């Protein structure tokens, strides 16, 4: 808070009191601060500097309350964003203990007492992440004119607080940065999702989250520490994979094992909008995503080596038997993972209503996208480069994966609960060529299948049922 106080008030100090350019800000503040009267007893605070900071600590509560009221949405919107966050974002990124959170957060209350259990920065990050699932009707009920204005405003608020909290706990900074990775602006700028993923990993390592032994002073349980670390890895891998950016993948192989249900320290108490059966399913789904991310990492590194080999051999290169075997092996790994995941869903999905299906459908989309990305480089091979059957097989796999993604997206789009799909997935992204890959700034997971379908629709004579195809893409 001291740093936030300094950043808030330093600009209000009279120029004459600031001293020279190189003067210590503390000295400038002491010079500007009101002096104690001669009759005032300072007690043990004999130094002017100590007296000054005690002076501000006396009004810290009022300052924090003022900041909270102006930097946190009003109660109705705040409650709505908390629900959306724990319904859609938390199952994919469980950086908080929801039972502990709701032990201090009360719906339909204007009080700010919950900020004693969670920092202002972390709560602002929750507000931003939850806003990604606000539908147009909910946006119109707020002071914002558009979804982008809402996202931008809440993101800028959290970003400003983040930049002013350099002395905050590394775990606090890690959790906030992880949630800010969901920011994907319309234009190029510094604070993109990639930037925040780097910030999250940097702060996570500073907090020792990559190590099995927690710091003795940590107030976060060992299980939650491991979950936060895996959230960092998962977001980094999904961004690298979804944007086809091999070079930005976190290179160090994590030494920590996959998370387990025990790490969640699940309690029987009702927590927010999720019941116990729904939370159990989301826990298993998150662990499955972490396992899937390991396969995604191997695909990215394999394709990075392939692109490098193509650059070394001018004019292209022939597909070798070892490369075909590696593609087949990765596909078998994906299919084995999908078999386990489908079994999990078949056993438990009846316990979860369709309104809570977004995290589960997103996992399916990740799997199908992995299949499409694995075979995409082999669709345009010439007969000289490979066996003539390889491009046909690759085309078949990409088309089937695109169809599965379209079905998963359709299940979300036609759900009565229209906040299931993040607004970013509705938007058409700009597409940039980079080698043999596509970099998609937004909607990375569903743009490829739409593009594949559009290619097929150009020649309706190759489609068995054009009417069905047109209806599916619509």
**Angle, alpha carbons 193-367-189 (nearest 5°):** 15
CB 390 within 8 A of CB 327: no
Domain boundaries, the chain: 2-58, 73-273, 278-419
Three-state DSSP class for 319? coil
Say whether 64 sits in a helix, a strand or coil: helix
Q: How far apart are CA 51 and CA 46, in angstroms?
A: 7
Per-residue pLDDT averaged across 108-129, rounded? 89
- The CA distance from 66 to 413, in Å, is 40
**In the chain, % of residues over pLDDT 70:** 63
Neighbours of 4 (CB within 10 A): 20
Which range, of 23-32, 82-91, 236-245, averages the lowest pLDDT? 23-32
> How many residues can be counted in the chain?
474
CA distance 279 to 87: 10
More confident residue, 33 or 398: 398
pLDDT at residue 12 tops 90: no
pLDDT the model gives residue 244: 78
Helix, strand, coil percent values for the chain (each to nearest 5): 65, 0, 35
Q: Cβ atoms within 10 A of the Cβ of 420, count?
A: 24
By the 10 Å C-beta count (0-12 exposed, 13-18 middle, 19+ buried), 380 is classed as: exposed
Ramachandran angles phi, psi of 434, nearest 5°: -150, 100
pLDDT of 280 above 70:
yes
Q: What is the DSSP string of 348-369?
A: HGGGS-GGG-HHHHHHHHHHHH
Share of the chain above pLDDT 90, in %: 32
Q: What's the confidence (pLDDT) of residue 116? A: 84
Task: Tell me the pTM.
Answer: 0.75
Residues facing residue 105 across a β-bridge: none
Ranges 22-31, 207-216, 253-262, most confident: 253-262
pLDDT category of residue 438 using cuts at 50, 70 and 90: very low
Report which of 255, 348, 349, 245 is spatially closest to residue 300, judged by C-alpha positions. 245
With a cut of 80, say whether residue 334 has pLDDT above it: yes
Do 128 and 183 contact (CB within 8 A), yes or no?
yes
For the stretch 159-192, pLDDT in tens is: 999 999 888 999 999 999 999 999 987 666 678 8
């Amino acid at each position: 808070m001291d740093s936030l106080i300094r950043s808030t008030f330093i600009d209000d100090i009279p120029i004459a009191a600031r001293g020279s350019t190189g003067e210590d800000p503390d000295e400038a503040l002491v010079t500007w601060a009101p002096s104690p009267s001669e009759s005032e007893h300072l007690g043990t605070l004999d130094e002017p500097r100590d007296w000054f900071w005690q002076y501000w600590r006396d009004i810290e509560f009022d300052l924090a309350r003022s900041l909270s009221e102006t930097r946190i949405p009003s109660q109705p919107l705040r409650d709505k964003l908390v629900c959306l966050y724990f319904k859609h974002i938390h199952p994919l990124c469980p950086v908080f203990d929801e039972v502990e959170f709701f032990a201090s957060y009360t719906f339909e209350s204007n009080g700010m007492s919950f900020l004693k259990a969670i920092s202002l920065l972390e709560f602002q990050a929750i507000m931003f992440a939850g806003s990604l699932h606000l539908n147009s009707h909910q946006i119109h009920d707020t002071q914002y004119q558009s979804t982008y204005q809402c996202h931008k405003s809440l993101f800028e608020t959290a970003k400003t607080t983040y930049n002013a909290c350099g002395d905050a706990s590394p775990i606090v900074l890690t959790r906030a940065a992880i949630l800010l990775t969901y920011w994907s602006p319309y234009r190029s700028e510094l604070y993109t999702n990639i930037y925040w993923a780097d910030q999250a990993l940097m702060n996570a390592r500073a907090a020792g989250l990559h190590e099995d032994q927690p710091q003795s002073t940590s107030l976060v349980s060992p299980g939650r520490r491991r979950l936060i670390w895996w959230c960092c890895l998962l977001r980094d891998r999904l961004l690298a994979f979804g944007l086809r950016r091999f070079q930005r993948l976190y290179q160090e192989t994590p030494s920590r094992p996959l998370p387990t249900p025990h790490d969640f320290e699940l309690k029987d108490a009702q927590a927010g909008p999720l019941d116990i059966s729904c939370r159990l399913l989301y826990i298993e789904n998150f662990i499955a995503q972490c396992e899937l991310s390991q396969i995604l990492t191997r695909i990215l590194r394999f394709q990075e080596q392939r692109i490098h080999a193509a650059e070394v051999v001018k004019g292209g290169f022939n597909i070798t038997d070892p490369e075909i075997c590696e593609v087949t092996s990765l596909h078998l790994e994906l299919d084995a993972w999908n078999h386990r995941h489908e079994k999990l869903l078949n056993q438990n999905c009846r316990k979860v209503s369709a309104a809570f299906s977004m995290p589960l459908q997103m996992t399916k989309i990740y799997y199908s996208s992995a299949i499409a990305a694995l075979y995409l480089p082999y669709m345009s091979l010439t007969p000289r480069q490979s066996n003539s059957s390889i491009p046909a097989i690759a085309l078949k796999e990409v088309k089937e994966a695109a169809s599965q993604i379209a079905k998963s997206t359709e299940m979300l789009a036609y759900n009565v609960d229209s906040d299931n799909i993040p607004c970013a997935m509705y938007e058409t992204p700009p597409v940039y060529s980079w080698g043999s890959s596509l970099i998609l700034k937004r909607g990375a997971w569903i743009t490829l299948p739409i593009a594949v379908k559009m290619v097929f629709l150009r020649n309706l004579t190759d489609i068995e049922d054009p009417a069905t195809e047109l209806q599916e893409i619509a």
